[in-house]
Amino acid sequence: MKKVLILLFITKAIFAQNIAKTDTGSINGVKYRILFPENWKGKLVMYAHGYEFMGAKPSQSQNPEFPKRMTPFLERGFAVAASDYAFQGFALAQGVDDTEALRKYFIQNYGKPDSTFMVGHSMGGGITLAIMENFSQNYNAGMPLCPLSSRPYLQCRKEFDIYATFNGLFPNIVTSLKDIFDLSKPYQASDSRKMMARSMEIKKAIIAKDSTLGVAFAKRFDLKFDDLPFSLFFNENVLRDLARKTDGNPFDNTNTVYIGFPDNLLVNKVAERMSATSKPDIFNKYDRTGNIDKPILLMHTIYDQLIPVNYGVTNFENMVQLQGKNQFFTVKHTNGQGHCVFTAKQTGKAFDELRNWTKSGTKATAGFIE
């Protein structure tokens, strides 16, 4: 489980690339980090990190492990520039704006790269797609990895629905939605160091209540049973964060009919219900469209406990199809069993295929990456 947390938003890397120069500072108060490899060839990867718990330290690009994690790009002669965004938590729109501000800074100080690629994991994958939908003129191509590629509201609504139905079937195990969206109580993010212990508590309570139903519930949300407690832990932090950022509850399930459970009628009778008390404006800026005009190679694990394949691939694929832009979209999948569980070799191979696509004009072939 601890390993899963480490891999939430950033790929694994095995060998650290020698760094010739590091540029760190802030733009409008937002920290950034730029890495230049010894063999820098005037090429640039703009990198967007994933969701970060409020109060988490250090920020992702400031982490001592960051250079190692960027090895697949650095060893190919690319500089890597990453913003830490103005705030933590759900920051998709802010991530787009801060990444673009950093790209402009790079050009002003180091000149225009001969090629620029946009890459990101998880929420950073969603930022990658938003940038390619809105600022593609500044990039050669994009590579979102296990991305938040559905419409952001729908992705976060899924987390709300998990809690609503879980609390109905398994009351008093995790925090109620009523308490999560109660703004009269001081905000306190969950301590990620306690994740394993809390997940074990949740798992034991589910088994004591009804292990068979627990397995079926997990399957309904494309989860392995062992990953259900962790997903609940993670989702509570996301929902608490959204409560503060929207000043209330942006979701409403008073009209929702839940299906896909062993007893759908029971679920709908007992599900926790809440009316919306705030507007979902946080999801509107850079909402997903599928309107792309540059190559995008999306890579996804075959199993993902935070962003299942239908949310990470299928929904966006359908948007691209509706826009008539299939010529710009290819999906690669791996046998990874978790969120963003890619090897450095897989990431490098996918990146090479994307680069070849941009050079040759021949679309990369969809399929499995060893």
- Nearest Cα neighbor of 77 from 119, 36, 34 is 36
> Does residue 16 register a pLDDT over 60?
no
Q: What is the CA radius of gyration of the chain?
A: 20
d(CA 319, CA 299): 17
How far apart are alpha carbons 206 and 338 in whole angstroms?
Answer: 22
Is it the case that residue 11 has pLDDT exceeding 60? Answer: no
Q: What pTM was computed for the model?
A: 0.93
The pLDDT score that the predictor gives to residue 5 is 39
pLDDT digits (tens, 9 = 90+) for 132-153: 999 999 999 999 999 999 999 9
Q: Over 90: is that where the pLDDT of 359 sits?
A: yes
Given a contact cutoff of 8 angstroms between Cβ atoms, the answer to whether 349 and 182 are in contact is no
CB 94 within 8 A of CB 126: no
- pLDDT band at 74, cuts 50/70/90? very high
- CA dist., res. 139 & res. 119, Å (int): 11
Mean of the per-residue pLDDT values of the chain = 93
Give residue 192's pLDDT band: very low, low, confident or very high (50, 70, 90).
low
Pair of tokens at residue 200: 């074990």
Structure confidence at residue 364 as a pLDDT band (50, 70, 90):
very high
Q: Which two tokens stand for residue 191?
A: 């301590």
Residues 84/31, Cβ–Cβ less than 8 Å? yes
Highest CATH level, class, for 2-150+288-368: alpha beta
Model confidence pLDDT, tens digit, residues 215-247 = 999 999 999 999 999 999 999 999 999 999 999
Query: CA 87 to CA 271: how far, in whole Å?
Result: 33
For the chain, the domains span 2-150+288-368, 152-282
Report the percent of the chain where pLDDT is more than 90.
88
**What separation in angstroms does the CA of 199 have from each of 27, 193, 233, 313, 341?**
38, 11, 7, 28, 20
